[in-house]
Chain A
């Protein structure tokens, strides 16, 4: 079956005065119909850029310098601007990090919802409004029919993020890219927002690409998880497998840094050092200076993603070596 979204060898570059920075380097992954893919990594690893590249909203001077993006078997990374615009909102929705700044302060929620619905669907103002009320109700805004005419600043942060979700889903997209949807919210409402997002997408059969640096959220929400490091995919696979038995040393390190109830705080591990800056990515595996299991090959050649048991893929010489030995 064709996956809903397929990203192949995606390269995103930023030309700067001191040379071109490669922010994403040959990233490949699929998202299946109805699947929730979690995308994790430290800040600057390229998670948000991946989302922006998919929806065609990379900020200049950033640009896609290579690779392909396919949506349901049709290539979308090279579409004319107007065609890509029709896909945004209609087929791919997006939820941004900060609900306080995602809504235009000068328009009511109704105005923004109706505008979005009528941009993509041939419905009357009245129908659009009815839909809008239904959506707000569905994302859990109490007294939706009345609150819809309020301005964004009348809503609390959590409520605003519900409005943002309603807006992202207003034209029933097949894929929703949620870029750190809870980071800016109170801890108390984070779980609710994730639940709302997950439920409503499941209900409509929409796939989700959930970008976050919070492994806890991924563990509870995602079907599969992709781990980015310095613009490269380190590991991708079913959530349970990756969490319980991470294969890439970086992923293992990430898992070591999540507290769980059964673990004692003292045993939380930390990865020494920090992620390299884009202008100083080391030769070979980008993780090699921090890797506890580094060996010579890691310092000279970059490992490719290799398939592993249980629909997993890992980019690490440890496993390529194994594969070679076996073969």
Chain B
């Protein structure tokens, strides 16, 4: 087991290095870093000096190693556009994104599994049919459109919920500002969380349904029925548990997507998170922010993948044994 985790960790490091290479290439070759940092009036000599100081004249591998060394310490340079350290910018905006992503993820998972199981078991009744049709609309509706329509209905017409921002936030600890502790903060979270979670919910739901139908056809489910077990035991004890392994995988990946899709939700709701920061960096070709955001997303994916691997062990005894055998 430990060997397995170590191997996965090594793979994760390799992935991070690859992404770092891409990020570095971005940083180095997209636009001219020096031109982006200095004003029009800077002389050529001064530019050359800055170039030397930034290490841009070093051989490529040396630059890359330095880039990584700085990245590990959280130093991604200065934003071209905002003239602030990138890491500071990201850290100040990360809590907003994480809170939004977490709440959406929990909503998506809970409703996705619930609806998925229901529609698999009650195939053909009107409610399943309705859920399936609505889910198809959910997949087809672009995230931003869901957000805009929700704003229209709940913020403009009904005036129940705020349409933008995080509401009132409270400082927790040194650098975490949360909106979860105030009423306006929670109210502000509802529409963005639904917007962000809806698509993921429909995906999880469709996956759970498909897996459930697959498992319900297996021999051990037939055998469980032939032993006279109650429907409840067959469906939830035997079938649902067997659908969990693929569902965990996809849900894990979806958590990563949620972080990525938060770019859109944050733009629609003017949510002060990292996604909005990234969009602006793309618009203004603010390469250091783009590079740092890329690394951050990669890190999130890698961490989630590791967690998913660990969850497999909790669910599937076959994996535990195969590893044990492989070791002995």
Partner-B contacts on A (CB < 8 A) = 55, 57, 85-90, 93-94, 96, 98, 101-107, 115-116, 119-120, 151, 153-154, 164, 167-168, 170-171
Query: Are A88 and B228 touching (Cβ within 8 A)?
Result: yes
Query: Are A106 and B242 touching (Cβ within 8 A)?
Result: yes
- How many residues on chain B are close to A (CB under 8 Å)? 23
In angstroms, Cα B231 to Cα A171, docked, is 18
Instruction: For B244, give the chain A residue with the smallest CB separation.
Output: A106
Subset of 16 A-B contacts with CB under 8 Å: A85-B230, A88-B225, A88-B226, A89-B228, A90-B228, A93-B227, A105-B220, A106-B241, A106-B242, A106-B316, A106-B317, A107-B238, A116-B228, A119-B233, A153-B317, A168-B226
Collect the chain A residues with CB atoms within 8 Å of residue B238's CB.
104, 107
Given A98-B219, A101-B219; A167-B227 close (CB under 8 Å): yes
Instruction: For A90, give the chain B residue with the smallest CB separation.
Output: B228
Query: Are A116 and B227 touching (Cβ within 8 A)?
Result: yes
Collect the chain A residues with CB atoms within 8 Å of residue B228's CB.
85-90, 116, 119-120, 171
Whether B224 sits at the interface, judged by CB under 8 Å, is yes
Query: Are B317 and A105 touching (Cβ within 8 A)?
Result: yes
Query: Are B219 and A151 touching (Cβ within 8 A)?
Result: no
Query: Are A154 and B321 touching (Cβ within 8 A)?
Result: yes
Most chain A beta carbons < 10 A, residue from B218, B223, B224, B315: B223
New A-B contacts (20) at CB < 8 Å, excluding given A88-B228, A89-B228, A93-B227? A55-B226, A57-B225, A88-B226, A88-B227, A94-B226, A103-B220, A104-B224, A104-B238, A105-B316, A106-B241, A106-B315, A115-B229, A115-B237, A116-B227, A119-B233, A151-B317, A153-B318, A164-B223, A168-B226, A171-B228
Collect the chain A residues with CB atoms within 8 Å of residue B224's CB.
104
Residue-wise interface mask of B (241-259) relative to A, using a CB-CB cutoff of 8 A (1 in contact, 0 not): 1100000000000000000
From B223, B230, B237, B241, A96 is in contact (CB under 8 Å) with B223
B263 → chain A closest CB, angstroms: 38
Instruction: For B224, give the chain A residue with the smallest CB separation.
Output: A104
Collect the chain B residues with CB atoms within 8 Å of residue A98's CB.
219
Closest 10 CB pairs of A and B: A89-B228, A88-B228, A94-B226, A101-B219, A89-B227, A102-B223, A104-B220, A151-B317, A116-B227, A102-B219
A180 → chain B closest CB, angstroms: 12
Collect the chain B residues with CB atoms within 8 Å of residue A101's CB.
218-220
Whether B122 sits at the interface, judged by CB under 8 Å, is no
Collect the chain A residues with CB atoms within 8 Å of residue B70's CB.
none
Collect the chain B residues with CB atoms within 8 Å of residue A153's CB.
317-318, 321
Query: Are A168 and B225 touching (Cβ within 8 A)?
Result: no
Instruction: For B227, give the chain A residue with the smallest CB separation.
Output: A89
Collect the chain A residues with CB atoms within 8 Å of residue B318's CB.
105, 151, 153
Query: Are B227 and A170 touching (Cβ within 8 A)?
Result: yes
Query: Are A151 and B227 touching (Cβ within 8 A)?
Result: no
Main secondary structure of the interface of B (DSSP, over half): helix
In angstroms, Cα B238 to Cα A104, docked, is 7
Collect the chain A residues with CB atoms within 8 Å of residue B227's CB.
88-89, 93-94, 116, 119, 167-168, 170-171
In angstroms, Cα B233 to Cα A120, docked, is 13
Whether B66 sits at the interface, judged by CB under 8 Å, is no
In angstroms, Cα B226 to Cα A55, docked, is 7
Collect the chain B residues with CB atoms within 8 Å of residue A85's CB.
225, 228, 230-231
Collect the chain B residues with CB atoms within 8 Å of residue A90's CB.
228
From A94, A115, A154, B223 is in contact (CB under 8 Å) with A94
In angstroms, Cα B126 to Cα A275, docked, is 42
In angstroms, Cα B243 to Cα A104, docked, is 12
Whether B47 sits at the interface, judged by CB under 8 Å, is no
Query: Are B229 and A104 touching (Cβ within 8 A)?
Result: no
In angstroms, Cα B109 to Cα A274, docked, is 52
In angstroms, Cα B224 to Cα A115, docked, is 10
Instruction: For B219, give the chain A residue with the smallest CB separation.
Output: A101
In angstroms, Cα B223 to Cα A88, docked, is 10
Residue-wise interface mask of B (188-219) relative to A, using a CB-CB cutoff of 8 A (1 in contact, 0 not): 00000000000000000000000000000011
Most chain A beta carbons < 10 A, residue from B220, B230, B231: B220
Collect the chain B residues with CB atoms within 8 Å of residue A120's CB.
228
B217 → chain A closest CB, angstroms: 8
Most chain B beta carbons < 10 A, residue from A85, A154, A167, A168: A85
Query: Are B316 and A96 touching (Cβ within 8 A)?
Result: no
Whether B7 sits at the interface, judged by CB under 8 Å, is no
Collect the chain A residues with CB atoms within 8 Å of residue B241's CB.
106
Whether B323 sits at the interface, judged by CB under 8 Å, is no
Collect the chain B residues with CB atoms within 8 Å of residue A170's CB.
227
Most chain A beta carbons < 10 A, residue from B219, B227, B237, B241: B227
In angstroms, Cα B229 to Cα A170, docked, is 12
Instruction: For A91, give the chain B residue with the smallest CB separation.
Output: B228
Query: Are A104 and B242 touching (Cβ within 8 A)?
Result: yes
B322 → chain A closest CB, angstroms: 9
Given A115-B233, A119-B233, A154-B321; A103-B223 close (CB under 8 Å): yes
A5 → chain B closest CB, angstroms: 16
In angstroms, Cα B224 to Cα A104, docked, is 8
In angstroms, Cα B318 to Cα A96, docked, is 22
Collect the chain A residues with CB atoms within 8 Å of residue B222's CB.
57, 96
Most chain B beta carbons < 10 A, residue from A86, A89, A153, A154: A89
In angstroms, Cα B316 to Cα A93, docked, is 28
B227 → chain A closest CB, angstroms: 4
In angstroms, Cα B224 to Cα A88, docked, is 10
In angstroms, Cα B312 to Cα A106, docked, is 11
Query: Are B226 and A57 touching (Cβ within 8 A)?
Result: yes
In angstroms, Cα B230 to Cα A102, docked, is 17
B213 → chain A closest CB, angstroms: 12
A23 → chain B closest CB, angstroms: 17
In angstroms, Cα B316 to Cα A325, docked, is 68
B120 → chain A closest CB, angstroms: 14
In angstroms, Cα B223 to Cα A57, docked, is 10
